[in-house]
Structure 1
């Protein structure tokens, strides 16, 4: 059974690859006040070096490295590490044959394992942190959700963290995770797929207890070869939801979705990024100074006198429907940049049966490169539907100009 993702490339912080193990360990011992009796002095974990592991220590100072030379069964590792509840230093699992990280022992009262690492201001170096790289058999790192990552008061940065090229960690599925908050420090996800590749980078599916994403510090998602960045959110808890901030991040980063089985998270906020958020009930009762709208916006033959209220709107969290009007254009949407719809029953944009509509310009709505089609987030399989507007797009060339 697979538990956690991970991506073609998944990096939080760059890690220091040291050629001087002894110097690194000495720095850890000196800055963390380690007891030498509880220090593991070997650069890799093997059947020979494990004899010197301090089995009776709860706090262990070490740079634990599991690699191609590690020839111990995971059951043996679990016995050796039984008393260790605090690892002070670094953890590297690279080019190993390990299949699971379940050999770490959790503190029963708190159900946690404590990992203490940081950047030392005194020596101006990056300590090893956590690195899980090139492990072709590794398929279970679920215990990471129970890791508590700590830094000491002199720390300059958060704990370095890297998970990269582990071929069986390609998806998050069939878990009991309620969110991904054990990766709450994650700031960046990169892929390396290219423009013609449609591989899913972040694939979270069939996790029926998952209610939130929980990647609160995520800032960047991109493909280093300028290709599309695909996410799949599928078959999660019925109440799984995305926050407005998460949707804005996905929009700004031009994320594309295979599936987006989600609702809007219930929020009572009246402002987003200092700008006014309004819930749509009807256009006649809508305030005229709204920057963000939440709800399904319907413009029909009775709404013409209220269209001035839409001049300031930047973002619509919901669907846009323009139908049965006498409008000739849509200049009132001049400032609209984003549309994110989590409605699985209707397209994000539906324009139909407008007899006099000559142009459908949404000049500030973001576009995808290289297709130059407008970018909307839509749970419905058809993001945009335009039908029965007899004078709109009088030629195919004109239609291509609008790229809707």
Structure 2
């Protein structure tokens, strides 16, 4: 008799960067009828229409050359304003200070940007420290000749949605939270290191090969977000001295992100040596670049070494085999054809009974870029032939286990001799699958979990997690015991001649009337060459539990 159970899962999906709900769109329902402002700018005439008694206003705050009021004159009108559904734009005005907007203000950043630009007399913008953007927003603070913006460069630390674009002021942010674009490049500081806060760092957009990017060639280190998007660049080779990218951990979007660059076919960061944080803390994305966008084995090795997590991986391995360190790269076709000097092997490697005599070809392999499987071998007992293998790197999103040991006759030991890092899978935890082998690989849960610890991976042993072995504890081959395991008698009739069998009934343990027998481990020797007795015992116990 079967019973069906349905599990209903409620998915709560956090809103990522750039995603807007319908509430982010200005609509009459957001504000009361008398709390709308429809004029295009603030002047002595239009200020009379400002709903000064409202705490939430739908409309735009635009101060420009037509604004003929001082900050002192404007202040009374905005004392109650707390929420603005619209844009804030201060451009070409004669204002000297924005203190009239100094109380706590929340606003939904219409069009994704706030502009404070080309205000010849503006000196004080400390009020923006109390502004809070409820949606992702680029704050353009540019070309204000009397403005010292340096004290405000850490705003993104307290306001996660804020992305700063600051240049051409009296003082800017130095080598902190920078954006490189067609206009800002003219004012770009010559930095060897760029520091970022929260979602700040270095962002490059809207530039092409025609722009002068020489100011970036001296850059050696980026701390924070590194993002390149909406450019016409073919690669990033102009960052010829960049050695370290130390990204922030951010929950919803990549901190190393290369996207929407239709001409970019290569990354081209030839001097890059170090990526942090380690152990999955760096979120990486490659998306919507040139259809042939590729990464070198050296670049992939850097990402796998840091155990980066990928949100998007629209990339392949570059076809050329050159490496700056001169280590040999080969593409795998068959084990017989592999050059025995290969150190980096690209492709899915399968060792089986037809090629297991060729395994010495892998003696010098350091990294395998693909999956690694040993299945149906007859004589292979361990992995000692992998003398230099440091890591297996999977390059497919949502793939299954990339390291597998399946249905081998003699394989006893699956420990990698010197593996330094866990198998790497680009968007989920590494899994090692061990299934259907005739020899016992793990005698107990401790051995299985030790292998998980050594490989820093999750092990699936004969279809189960390591914890499942707690109920199936087997004696070591050097210490036979007389412990009993119970199985259904109908499944072991053919072993009666080889085993000491005792029939009986265990109504308390199994379903009523189930006939069982007990087999001693000393009778069905687990130390036989094939290991059939011990392996079949495992299968029978599992069978009994299914029908109990």
| Structure 1 length-normalised TM | 0.57
Aligned mate of 1:387, from 426, 435, 441: 435
| Residue in 1 that maps onto 2:376 | 324
Q: How many residues align?
A: 299
Q: Aligned-pair distance for 1:386?
A: 3.3
Is 1:148–2:212 an aligned residue pair? Answer: yes
Q: How far did 1:193 drift?
A: 4.3
CA radius of gyration, larger in: 2
Q: Could you say which residue in structure 1 is the equivalent of 2:293?
A: 240
Q: How big is the shift at 1:301? A: 0.8
3-state SS in 2 of match to 1:307: helix
SS in 2 for 1:239: coil
Cα deviation digits, residues 306-361 of structure 1 (max 9, x gap): 11222222122232121111222111113101222324566432322224322111
Matches within 5 A, 1:109-128: none
What does residue 104 of structure 1 align with? Answer: 183
> Could you tell me which residue of structure 1 aligns to residue 416 of structure 2?
362
Q: Report the CA distance between 1:285 and its aligned residue.
A: 2.8
What residue is the counterpart of 1:261 in the other structure? 314
Match of 1:8 in 2: none
Alignment partner for residue 334 of structure 2, among 275, 282, 288?
A: 282
SS of equivalent to 2:256: strand
1:400 maps onto 2:449 in alignment: yes
Query: Root-mean-square deviation (CA), in Å?
Result: 4.9
**Partner Cα distance (1:290, 1:99) in 2:** 42
Unaligned segments of structure 2, at least 5 residues: 1-16, 19-116, 124-142, 152-166, 458-548
Once the two structures are TM-superposed, the CA of residue 299 in structure 1 deviates from its matched residue by 0.2
Per the TM alignment, residue 240 of structure 1 is displaced from its structure 2 partner at its CA by 1.8
Q: Counterpart of 1:249?
A: 302
Shift of 1:133: 6.3
SS in 2 for 1:351: strand
Residue deviations 1:13-45 (CA, integer Å, cap 9, x gap): xxxxxxxxxxxxxxxxxxxxxxxxxxxxxxx97
The 8 Å contact of residues 91 and 130 in structure 1, kept in 2 or not, is answered as no
Query: Among residues 112, 115, 120, which one is paired with 1:47 in the alignment?
Result: 120
Matched-pair contact (CA < 8 Å) for 1:347–1:381: no
CA contact (8 A) 1:193 1:199 kept: no
Q: Partner of 2:496 in structure 1?
A: none
> Bigger relative contact order, structure 1 or 2, given CA contacts below 8 A and separation 6+?
1
Kept in 1, the 8 Å contact 2:255–2:283? The answer is yes
Per-residue deviation, 1:130: 9.4
Tell me, in whole angstroms, the C-alpha distance in 1 between the residues paired with 2:182 and 2:342.
Answer: 54
Distance of 1:132 and 1:312 partners within structure 2: 40
Cα distance, 1:382 vs structure 2: 6.4
Displacement of 1:365 in angstroms is: 1.7
Deviations 1:170-228 (A, max 9, x none): 8655666544445444332223549xx8974313445555432233332221139x873
1:61-140 → structure 2 map (5 Å cutoff):
68=149, 93-94=172-173, 104=183
Which secondary structure does the structure 2 equivalent of 1:217 belong to? coil
Q: Is the 8 A contact 2:248 2:282 kept in 1?
A: no
**SS in structure 2 of the partner of residue 394 of structure 1:** coil
Match of 1:250, SS? helix
1:189 partnered with 2:245: yes
CA distance in 2, matches of 1:294, 1:104: 42
CA contact (8 A) 2:204 2:227 kept: no
Q: Is the 8 A contact 1:115 1:148 kept in 2?
A: no
